[in-house]
Amino acid sequence: MSDNLGITKDNMYLSVSDSCLNLSNKYKRGKLTAYQLICQALLRRHEVMPSQQLLSQFYLVLHTGLVSADQDIVNVLIRDCGPKLFTLSLPGCLLLALDFIKAAGSIISAVDYKEPPRAEAVTVLGSLLCYPYYMPEFPALEPETMNVVNIPSVQLKDLILDLLLKAGKREPAGLARCVAVSSVAIFLYCELTHSTLHSKMKEGINVLLGALMCVNKKVAKVATDMLLLLCDHVDRLQDYHPQMPKKITEAIASTISALIATHGAANSDEEKRLIVSMMFAMVEWCLKMPIQLLMETTDTDKSCIYKVFRVLHSAVTGHSSSSLTRVSKSLSDFLLDTDFTNIFETQSGFVGAASLPSSFQRPFSADATLSEPVGDPGRMSSPLQQDHGRKSETDIVKLAARALMTHLVNHMSHFPMGSGAARLHTTVQEHHDLPEYIEDDLRPEIFNAPNVQFFVLNH
């Protein structure tokens, strides 16, 4: 009956909760509960929009709490408000944008990674990232005062982006780092879509490439998916940085090489799924890149397509000690930014690591945090068990690598046949591609044909 009359339970405790905010720290637990109840009452779907007076009082409570010196109050407000305040489109909610950015920054900079709502803090920043693209400027409250100032969209974007890049590099909580990586990717996609080409795009791309090497496989998977998303705009990315698509492809290839097990060892199922995702992302970049860039060589470096084929070949055959050393060198050359934390290359070191078990070469953790020790010697399988496991897996990494090699060769306008029994029964020969072919014998013109089969698949 009370619901039909429009009398909600919110009316019973909102006034009391508002009074509780003025309590001393002796009753801090009740004070924090009052903040939580107020947020839950106001930040829900309303059939009738709250009155302007109620919203003004609510915004005052949030402004006072978010700029408070008491970090516990800030944590409660970020945890219970999160991005909900901005998704509900309440009138005037963007007045608190600077308050939320400051509060989120204090949480991201906190040393403690278990108690603060780190994922919610990064999510708040990500939810604010879209506004600068559609509003040239908007009014906001200064965190230290109650003054309203007009914030240019460029300034707001820089404030948000600095914190997201920091979280993408150093965030210790797994979920928060996933959100940071996806938010950075959204920023990059928006920049490419709108052709605004922000000065920190290169740093954002480096954050995604660094996240590929994160000890948390879920973070690496998110980074892989985001890089796959960005290849939609290879042409615009080339306008910004002509060599960037090539760099991204080679960085993915180096990461895959570091993840591939040595010959005789085995990856876990989760690692295999990650490797397959990375291989598909790498080949997708190859398909979207211009052929000239893909085959470009220098005096000191091989072509990008050569490196991709070498990685796919290693995925089928496994690493040797020499190829593993080459991988460690390519990773160390790529990752020059010392700002990154929780990446496997810095913890294990691949040089001379070929004799170590695979679980210690890549100390991944799928837990919520990234700084906990991983690798349990008691759970390692023996070499015999590993060999037996490889046979029963029908190795998805090998199958994917073979399929992708075939696809890439076809993309290069070569169409080889397999090396099996099918070759013995085929009546198709190379010189059948020649126009006006009559004779049975080969002619020199065969080498001027548009498609000549120089390759035979032997994997």
| Helix boundaries (H) for 118-230 | 118-128, 153-170, 174-194, 201-211, 217-230
The three-state secondary structure class of 351 is coil
Rounded Cα gap, residues 294 and 288, in angstroms = 10
Q: Is the pLDDT of residue 73 over 70?
A: yes
Say whether pLDDT at 374 is over 50. no
The residue ranges of every structural domain in the chain are 1-170, 237-412, 419-459
Under 8 Å CB-to-CB from 156, ≥6 apart: which residues?
97, 128, 131, 132
pLDDT at 85 over 90: no
Q: For all residues of the chain together, what is the average pLDDT?
A: 77
Question: Do residues 65 and 94 touch, judged by C-beta distance below 8 A?
Answer: no
Among residues 459, 458, 455, the alpha carbon closest in space to that of 411 is found at 455
CA dist 295 and 282 (Å) reads 15
pTM: 0.78
Q: What is the pLDDT of residues 103-152, one digit of tens each?
A: 999 999 988 877 889 999 999 999 999 888 888 888 999 988 888 999 99
Among candidate residues 71, 165, 84, 63, the one with its CA nearest the CA of residue 115: 71
Rounded CA-CA distance 197/405 in Å is: 34
Of residues 350, 355, 334, 323, the one with CA closest to residue 212: 334
Q: pLDDT tens-digit profile of 291-345?
A: 899 988 887 888 899 999 999 988 888 765 555 555 545 555 555 555 666 665 4
Instruction: Determine the distance from the C-alpha atom of residue 341 to the mean position of all C-alpha atoms in its chain, rounded to a whole number.
Output: 15
Check pLDDT > 70 for residue 261. Answer: yes
Of the two residues 343 and 387, the one the predictor is more confident about is: 343
Q: Which residues contact 234 (CB under 8 A, 6 or more apart)?
A: 245, 285, 288, 289
Supply the pLDDT for residue 377. 37
Q: For residue 152, report the phi and psi dihedrals to the nearest 5 degrees.
A: -65, 145
Assign 354 a pLDDT band (cuts: 50, 70, 90).
very low
- Weakest-pLDDT range from 122-126, 200-204, 226-230, 447-451: 447-451
* Nearest-angstrom CA–CA distance, 225 and 212: 10
Instruction: Quote the pLDDT of residue 224.
Output: 96
What is the number of other CB atoms lying within 10 angstroms of the CB of residue 238? 16
* 435 exposure class (CB count in 10 Å sphere: 0-12, 13-18, 19+): exposed
